[in-house]
A = this chain, B = another copy of it.
Amino acid sequence: MERFMEVCLFLLLRDGPMHGYGLAEQLIPFGFAPEDLNVSTLYRTLRKMEHEGFVISDWQEGEQGPRKRVYKITTEGEENLEEWIQVLQYRKARIEKVLAVYKEPSKKSFSKVIDEVAT
């Protein structure tokens, strides 16, 4: 699932600014339960997204606890999300193709089956 988390982060940030730790919670319904979430990947991905101009961040201090880096999606980020959606639709189609062929009866020829039984 190459860069799947990235798409989920774009999707979550589309609904409003959020900091990394908060995004971690919101990622759960996308298959990133705490035991399946690598927080290193999460923070690293957010930094990369900002470096590419798809999000911008600001430090939010004053609240209790450590300071939060709050990310906000940019126009370029929103465009990038739409490209990612196309990619996901293509991936889905390819997976469905495999699942469909898997469920088909085997196309193994009769002669090949005979060969197999003979061994």
Residues of A at under 8 Å CB distance from B? Answer: 1-2, 4, 7-8, 11, 14-17, 29-31, 81, 85, 88-92, 94-99, 101-102, 106-109, 112
A88 and B98 within 8 A (CB): yes
Q: Which residues of B contact A16 (CB under 8 A)?
A: 108-109, 112
Complex CA–CA separation, A85 to B96 (angstroms): 10
In the complex, the chain B residue whose C-beta lies closest to that of A88 is: B95
Partner of A91, one of B8, B17, B95: B95
Instruction: Say yes or no: B15 contacts A97, CB within 8 Å.
Output: no
By the criterion CB–CB under 8 Å, are B99 and A31 in contact? Answer: no
A17–B8 alpha-carbon span in the complex (Å): 40
